[in-house]
Amino acid sequence: MKILVCISHVPDTTSKINFTDNDTKFDTTGVQFVINPNDEFGLTRAMWFKEKQGASVTVINVGGLETEPTLRKALAIGADDAIRVNTTALDSFTVAKQLANVVKTGGYDLIIAGRESIDYNGGMVPGMIAGLTEANFVNNCIGLEIEGTTAKATREIDGGKETVSTTLPLVIGGQKGLVEESDLRIPNMRGIMMARKKPLTVAEPIEAKTQTNSVAFEKPTPKGAVTLVSPDNLDELVRLLHNEAKVI
């Protein structure tokens, strides 16, 4: 079984976010980038298929040279090889089209993508890949078993979860639950050294016209000051709630 794991290069959630050019562009200065968490759950599940069923695991990213350290980390975790499509990730459609082209030419049986990336939260790429490649698709996937060409997947739905059966080729939009957080892997020194020798292919992009454009970014409203009131001073608490907060 050939598995392709899509890896998004996203800012660490602890990074301080700023914008430039009149709030129209994301400022990457001083920002630490990591593997998108939803993709990391998918990569870990792919490693299980590699170890238990002998699957081959390729990781892929659409982006510039700056994304290669993230791919190298995925290789250090255990992926066999990596592909970087050498173009800027402009919107969900252009990313999906580049990924779908690799899927079509690579003959992959299972394509694992995160349900969404934690930067733009678009949630569109996995479904678009499935549509462009005419593969089966399961989104919000929290469980996956494969036997031969048959897959059994569990996905989150409103109010519960649903288990479905389908066939390969299959695209899933994975998320937390696909594996447990305790199963996520930290690259060890041996893995890091081996990752330096594993192939990382740079593929040139195909033509793809963007369908969306970010007009402007805006930060959330800063949190207001906090007033602490002693639990013994209920009269003061009532006064503040009435006169200042105006909630009573």
Domain spans, the chain = 2-217
**Which two three-digit tokens encode residue 70?**
């993230």
pLDDT in the model for residue 226? 85
Is pLDDT above 90 for 245? Answer: no
Band (pLDDT 50/70/90 cuts) for residue 111 is very high
pLDDT digits (tens, 9 = 90+) for 28-78: 999 999 999 999 999 999 999 999 999 999 999 999 999 999 999 999 999
Residues 169 and 45: their CA atoms lie apart, in Å, by: 17
Residues 237 and 160: their CA atoms lie apart, in Å, by: 41
Is pLDDT above 90 for 179? Answer: yes
Phi-psi bin for 48: left (phi > 0), alpha (psi -120 to 50), beta? alpha
Fold of domain 2-217:
Rossmann fold (3.40.50)
Residues 108 and 1: their CA atoms lie apart, in Å, by: 8
pLDDT in the model for residue 62? 98
Tokens 């007033």 correspond to what residue? 227
pLDDT in the model for residue 27? 94
User: CA angle 75-69-137, nearest 5°?
Assistant: 60
pLDDT in the model for residue 93? 96
pLDDT in the model for residue 213? 87
